[in-house]
Amino acid sequence: MTHTSTTVSFADGAVTGDGVVLRVEPSADGTVVIVDRTPFHPVDHTWPDQPGDAGTISSGKSAVSVTEALMAAASDAGDFAVGTGIPVKRGAEGWVWLVGHLLDGDAPEWLVAGAPVALSVDESRRAGLSRGHTACHLASLALDLAVADLWRKEPGTDALGNPDFEGRANQSSRIHEDGAVDEYRLGKSLRKAGFDTECFAATLADREAAINAQLESWVASAAASRVVTEGPTIVDRRSWHCELPEGTAKILCGGTHVHSLAEFASIRVTLDLNDPQLLVMTTTAIAAD
């Protein structure tokens, strides 16, 4: 029985840590290991924008590979669920929330409940995903600013006080190492909300250029970036803060991020409107030397 949610350290940038195995469970995708504390960032099953960390779990000279960290949950009644199989919402009474470590194969004999283990995240992959996630947020803020003049009604504001196109139109976001792909629905509901989709389509190249100019300015600012947490467990709220020249942007976010925009050599986007009702924004980051 697992009585408390997993303690996590990835928000501070940790990539290594020690823990005690609480349970080893079979799942549809393979063997899942739960420990009491972990530096691994899991993919969120409700908004899977950032992939989960990969790495290793070890004891002495023995180690096993973790293909991806993912969300898991356990109930007081003894139920155990992983990822999209979790049947309740966060905060549901009688459930605790856990970080599951999906193994590459079966669990070795030494990996059992009660065993002390060392956990190590793939640092290169984590760094790339962190750059990708920060770049994704910055690109979205720059997009909001670049289309701010196209609203005839007030759509609400984003983290910098600009009209919130991101919040109104984004239908999916997929982060990868050093980049992201975001999709925005430009349908009837957005037009009813007051957005001029025709003008946007006619000026697409200018909007893309404005976004890239803004991103270049923000990267040059070398602004501080961090994750702020409200508690130590996987269910405590976290948010991304970035001290941009226009003000500090604060966005609720469960992912990982860079510590400074000085970690980028550049961030650029391309806008694709081949389907007039679907904007695809591809963000590409290049790490600083």
Q: What is the pLDDT of residues 3-48, one digit of tens each?
A: 799 999 999 999 999 999 999 998 888 899 999 999 999 999 999 9
**pLDDT score for 269:** 98
**pLDDT score for 278:** 98
Residue 266: strand, helix, or coil: strand
**pLDDT score for 21:** 98
Q: Which two tokens stand for residue 2?
A: 């697992």
Q: Mean pLDDT for the chain?
A: 96
Say if residues 160 and 249 touch (Cβ distance below 8 Å): yes
Return the bridge partners of 268, or none.
Answer: 284
* Count of residues in the chain: 289
pLDDT, mean of residues 91-110: 94
Q: What is the DSSP string of 226-259?
A: EEEESSSBTTS-EEEEEEETTEEEEEE--S---S
Which is higher by pLDDT, 118 or 29? Answer: 118
pLDDT in tens, 204-229: 999 999 999 999 999 999 999 999 99
Residue 213: strand, helix, or coil: helix
**pLDDT score for 183:** 98
Say if residues 217 and 171 touch (Cβ distance below 8 Å): no
Residue 253: strand, helix, or coil: coil
* For the chain, percent of residues with pLDDT exceeding 90: 95
Residue among 13, 8, 118, 132 nearest 66 (CA): 118
pLDDT of 282 higher than 70: yes
Q: Which residues contact 40 (CB under 8 A, 6 or more apart)?
A: 8, 10, 52, 53, 55, 66, 69, 99, 101, 119, 121
Q: Which two tokens stand for residue 126?
A: 């984590």
pLDDT of 263 higher than 90: yes
Domain extents in the chain = 7-121, 125-287
Task: Measure the CA–CA gap between 94 and 96, rounded to whole angstroms.
Answer: 7
pLDDT band, very low/low/confident/very high, at 202 (cuts 50, 70, 90):
very high
pLDDT, mean of residues 159-185: 98
**pLDDT score for 153:** 96
pLDDT, mean of residues 244-271: 98
pLDDT, mean of residues 186-193: 96
The model's pTM is 0.96
**pLDDT score for 45:** 92
Residue among 217, 256, 191 nearest 53 (CA): 256
pLDDT band, very low/low/confident/very high, at 130 (cuts 50, 70, 90):
very high
Q: Which CATH number fits domain 125-287: 3.20.20.30, 1.20.120.420, 3.30.980.10, 1.10.357.10?
A: 3.30.980.10
**pLDDT score for 1:** 58
pLDDT, mean of residues 269-282: 97
Identify the burial level of 218 via C-beta atoms within 10 angstroms of its C-beta, where 0-12 means exposed, 13-18 middle and 19 or more buried: buried
pLDDT, mean of residues 250-273: 98
Task: Measure the CA–CA gap between 279 and 168, rounded to whole angstroms.
Answer: 13
Fold entry, domain 7-121: Elongation Factor Tu (Ef-tu); domain 3 (2.40.30)
pLDDT in tens, 43-64: 999 999 999 999 999 999 999 9
